[in-house]
Each structure stands twice: as structure tokens, then as C-alpha cells.
Amino acid sequence: MTVKRLAKGLLRWGKRAGVAVIVAGAVFYLGLILLRYEPMVIVTGSMQKTIPVGSLVVDQKVDPRQLEVGDVISFQKPLGAQGLDTHRIVAIKSDKGMRLYQTKGDSNPVADPWIISFDRGMVAHRMVFSVPYVGNALIFARSSLGRLSLIAYVCVILLLSVLKGIAATAKVKTLEPAGKPDQPLSTV
């Protein structure tokens, strides 16, 4: 096998693999959205023991009364920096007819300094599953460098396809006999 054939094979494989990964990722993400799941990325280490940083966490909206100790939920932080937290419920208490949820990150030494409650009509976001490190791809895809890389990849694939078409056309033309096709070639 020549180096040229090997390079062509690797290039073809790389193109197909890249397209397959992009399409599969887009279909998976779109499928989650259509099925009303909520994908999120873990960006801190508070759940590192069970959910690594960079994991894709997929939540589903549920009635808060369905929550149990041990469930992992995502919620708006009630104290400190704004944003979402994804922590495990470690205790459920009742106070004046309202359920109160104590949460803790699996890697944190102590429970969170707040209690979570849900007003009537609110929904909770319970984790259905997580996929380790896949969230890093989403973070990269949302970055300027990620978008630029995707555009560059598509441009290179299109350019290679055009060049391949040109090369195939040029090869066909060089194989046609000189002169008119109806006339036999003359020899001198």
C-alpha cells in the first residue's frame, strides 16, 4: 500500500468519522430537547465523586412531591453566587405542610447551607442520567474557538470534495483520445 493511498484512506475515514460524530451529537441533543429532557453541563467539582466535571447531566421536570432522599436535583442557588447547582437530596423535612429539601454535593464534606423548597405549581428538575465528560464537547462547541473549528472543518471538507471532483474530471479528460470521437486515430 502506498503512502498516497494510505493518506487518502485516512482522510476519507477522518471525514466520515467527523461527520458521524457531529450528526450523532446533534441528533442526540435534539432528541433530548424534543423528549423534554433538560441537558446541562457540570462545571464544578461538588459532585466529582459520582459525576465528573465536564459531564452532561440530563434532568427531567417532576412534581417536587415525587422527590426522595438520594435523588440528584438541579436548582437555582438560593445563596451565594448565582447559577445552577446539581446536588443530592440528603434529607426531606416537613414544616407547616411544606416539604423542605436538604442537599449536598457528593464531594462536599458538609450539607449545603440552605434548604430548598418549592412553591405550589413549581416543578423540580431531577437527574435522569449523566454521561461523563460529554459536556466538555458542548462547552467547546459553544466557545468562539469551537464554532470557528466547526466552520473550518466544514470548509475543509467542502474544499476537499470540490478538489476531488475537479481531479476526477481532469482524469476523465486525459483518458479521452485526442481528436474527434468519431474519427480513428491516425498514425504517422
Question: Mean pLDDT over all residues of the chain?
Answer: 86
State yes or no: pLDDT of 112 exceeds 70.
yes
Write the CB contacts of 55 (distance below 8 Å, at least 6 apart in sequence): 41, 42, 130, 131, 132, 133, 134, 135
Q: Give the dihedral of Cα atoms 129, 36, 143, 151; nearest 10 deg.
A: 110
How far is 98 from 77, CA to CA, in rounded Å?
19
Q: Are 86 and 42 in contact (CB under 8 A)?
A: yes
41-72: pLDDT as tens digits: 999 999 999 999 999 999 999 999 999 999 99
Percent of the chain past pLDDT 70, that is, above it, reads: 89
Assign 1 a pLDDT band (cuts: 50, 70, 90). Answer: low
How far is 138 from 155, CA to CA, in rounded Å?
21
Q: Are 61 and 123 in contact (CB under 8 A)?
A: yes
83-101: pLDDT as tens digits: 889 999 999 999 988 899 9
Residue 178 identity: A
Q: Are 103 and 116 in contact (CB under 8 A)?
A: yes
